[in-house]
Amino acid sequence: MSQPSSENIFSQVAKHKIVPVIQIDDIHHAKPLADALVENGLPVAEVTFRTDVAAQAIKIMRESQPDLLVGAGTVLTTKQADAALAAGAMFAVAPGLNPNIVKYCQKIGLPMVSGINNPSQIEQALALGMTFVKFFPAEASGGIAMVKALLAPYRDIQMMPTGGISPANVKDYLSIDRVACCGGTWMVPGQLMKQGDWAALSHLIREAVALVE
């Protein structure tokens, strides 16, 4: 599978305004989840490498829904980066900024979104050629006030706040200039996946899409 440029993939992701952050524990959930996202108007996903089936889930999701923008989340090692790329992940996301992992992802052609929550980390990101970063954990790191404060001096940076984002605050984050999109879990709760309640999950996805339109 060909990999788009970082700039291109991040602009595609940002169009959807919200990125479902998903932990898949059961590989059998991958296809119905991919179908639910695409069919209900949110064709983007960040599948976290917090479970052993993450890479396999990404592969199934990409194959079953080729138009789905699937990224790999919680990419902390070069081994995980390799597995994500081999599975067809279109981008990688990390909770923090590890220059070694960033450089490795750049080397293998996997667009990377590193996590930051202070000025020094933003300057590290810029030094590595990154202008699209994840603000994490968003609410615990000062929320909207901190996002505005960090974006003010760094005019080239775009952010994806993640962590504590909910229907109650997502529109406030998205109203900030250069907040490209937000990551969240509320529209893809693990409990509904475990129950196989795809109708209820589809309803939450549609509600989330309508909220940020």
127-178 pLDDT tens trace: 999 999 999 999 999 999 999 999 999 999 999 999 999 999 999 999 999 9
Which residue segments constitute the domains of the chain, with CATH numbers given?
Answer: 6-208 (3.20.20.70)
Look at residues 152, 82, 71, 148 and name the one whose alpha carbon lies nearest to residue 114. Answer: 71
Sheet with 44-48: list strands edge to edge.
112-113, 91-93, 69-73, 44-48, 18-22, 182-184
Which of 134, 139, 171, 213 is labelled catalytic?
Answer: 134
How is the beta sheet containing 115-116 ordered, strand by strand? 115-116, 132-135, 158-161
- Give bridge partners of residue 161 from the DSSP assignment: 135
- Choosing from 15, 31, 46, 123, the catalytic residue is 46
Annotation marks residue 46 as catalytic? yes
Average pLDDT over residues 119-133: 98
134 classed as catalytic: yes
Check pLDDT > 90 for residue 4: no
pTM of the model: 0.95
Three-state DSSP state, 91? strand
With bands split at pLDDT 50, 70 and 90, how would you rate the model's confidence at 6? Answer: confident
Tell me the C-alpha distance between 7 and 27, whole Å.
Answer: 31
Longest CA pairwise span in the chain (Å): 46
- Specify which residues 20 forms β-bridges with: 184
Cα-to-chain-centroid distance, residue 81: 15
- pLDDT > 70: what percent of the chain? 98
The pLDDT of residue 1: 46
Residues with Cβ < 8 Å from 46, sequence gap 6 or more? 19, 20, 21, 22, 71, 72, 73, 93, 183
Residue 7 has pLDDT above 90, yes or no: no
